């Protein structure tokens, strides 16, 4: 395989917010469209709606389909092109479950218990005990990636331990089960460290998260964006319009840094520091910058919302392509393992 393949995914939690956009989605679109000097694609990209992964923290799947479609609308609106990148649901490609089962024999529970991300989740979600499936979710992730022979995994620094588990599983499989003709069935995927731009929530205290109610959605209209940004936390010491502010501690300014053009940003910073700019005006300008970036996404989303039949076809087509790749890999796996 000459082109490197990337498999990335998200849990379907419904409509996406700005944090999803700056933290992953815009990078996915960039990688999807990246061309080499000779005009060929640098990466083959596949995007997974990780609906099985919902079950690791909740048994309520009643909204799984609706949430998957809402998320897919946001992916398409942001520029995921189904002609270039198949999009598909994990639950519709049964090979994910099959490979997960086989991989779960290649790693010890002690190794999974040492996973630092798991410890963080247990703490953040106040969990008293883990299900067997939750402990094993890095194994399911390994199956997600290796089923499509992903060679590159775009990650932030904190996700490197997961890629390491995927690499260990690939190595162990290749060592124990060499394929009679191709040798190694799986590549050892390389983490591609990406500087994600993480956005704090409107409350200024944590990252954007739907459960915390501190988000701006990609599908929010300019009026909705303004009404949310209007309530964002600013510099608590700037009490009156003409008080000098501290942009470095202000949530709104952190959004300006990402969404406002450089020249205007410098003016906003200077006027905040001198007290010439009031927070209400500043928030209006911030909301306008965010909405300007979201405008083409909104337009594209409306196009697809009126054509849900087309969106369903896109999903079915992606699932057909994913099944072909997955079935081919599983044939190699069964041959290497002398099963069946």
Angle at alpha carbon of residue 155, lines to 208 and 21, rounded to 5°: 35
In the list 10, 152, 272, 325, the residue contacting ligand SF4 (rule: CB under 6 A) is 272
Total number of residues that touch ligand SF4 (CB under 6 A): 13
In the list 16, 235, 318, 319, the residue contacting ligand SF4 (rule: CB under 6 A) is 235
Burial grade of 148 (CB within 10 A; 0-12, 13-18, 19 or more): buried
Mark the segment that binds ligand SF4 (CB under 6 A) among 5-13, 69-77, 163-171, 242-250. 242-250
| Order of all β-strands in the sheet with 190-193 | 87-89, 43-49, 4-10, 152-155, 190-193
Q: Does 254 bind ligand SF4 (CB under 6 A)?
A: no
In the list 208, 250, 314, 325, the residue contacting ligand SF4 (rule: CB under 6 A) is 250
Beta carbon nearer to ligand SF4, 280 or 308 = 280
Beta carbon nearer to ligand SF4, 26 or 271 = 271
Of 233, 256, 235, whose CA–CA distance to 246 is shortest?
235
Burial grade of 239 (CB within 10 A; 0-12, 13-18, 19 or more): exposed
Q: Which residues is 17 bridged to in the sheet?
A: 217
Binding mask 283-312 for ligand SF4 (x = CB under 6 A): x-----------------------------
Q: Does 189 bind ligand SF4 (CB under 6 A)?
A: no
Query: Which residues, in sequence order, are CB contacts of 244 under 8 Å at separation 6+?
Result: 238, 272, 273, 274, 275
Q: Does 229 bind ligand SF4 (CB under 6 A)?
A: no
Residues contributing to the site for ligand SF4 (CB under 6 A): 234-235, 238, 245, 247, 250, 252-253, 272, 277, 279, 282-283
């Amino acid at each position: 395989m000459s082109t490197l393949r990337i498999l990335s995914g998200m849990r379907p939690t419904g409509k996406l917010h700005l944090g999803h956009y700056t933290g992953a989605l815009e990078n996915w679109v960039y990688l999807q469209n990246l061309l080499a000097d000779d005009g060929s694609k640098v990466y083959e990209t596949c995007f997974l709606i990780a609906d099985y992964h919902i079950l690791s923290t909740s048994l309520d799947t009643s909204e799984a389909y609706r949430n998957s479609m809402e998320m897919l609308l946001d992916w398409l609106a942001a520029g995921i092109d189904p002609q270039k990148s198949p999009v598909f649901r994990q639950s519709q490609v049964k090979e994910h479950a099959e490979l997960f089962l086989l991989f779960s024999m290649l790693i010890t529970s002690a190794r999974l218990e040492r996973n630092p991300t798991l410890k963080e989740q247990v703490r953040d979600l106040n969990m008293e005990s883990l299900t067997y499936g939750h402990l094993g979710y890095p194994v399911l992730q390994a199956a997600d990636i290796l089923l499509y022979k992903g060679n590159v995994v775009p990650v932030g620094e904190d996700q490197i331990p997961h890629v390491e588990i995927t690499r260990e599983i690939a190595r162990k499989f290749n060592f124990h089960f060499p394929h009679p003709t191709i040798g190694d069935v799986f590549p050892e995927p390389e983490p591609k460290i990406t500087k994600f731009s993480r956005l704090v929530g409107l409350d200024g205290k944590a990252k954007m998260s739907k459960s915390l109610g501190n988000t701006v959605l990609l599908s929010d209209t300019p009026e909705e964006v303004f009404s949310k940004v209007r309530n964002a936390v600013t510099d608590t010491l700037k009490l009156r319009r003409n008080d000098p502010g501290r942009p470095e501690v202000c949530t709104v300014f952190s959004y300006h840094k990402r969404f406002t053009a450089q020249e205007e940003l410098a003016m906003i910073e200077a006027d905040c520091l001198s007290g010439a700019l009031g927070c209400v005006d500043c928030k209006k300008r911030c909301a306008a910058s965010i909405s300007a970036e979201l405008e083409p996404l909104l337009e594209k989303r409306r196009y697809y919302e009126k054509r849900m039949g087309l969106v369903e076809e896109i999903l079915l087509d992606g699932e057909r392509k994913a099944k072909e790749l997955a079935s081919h890999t599983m044939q190699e796996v069964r041959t290497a393992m002398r099963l069946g």
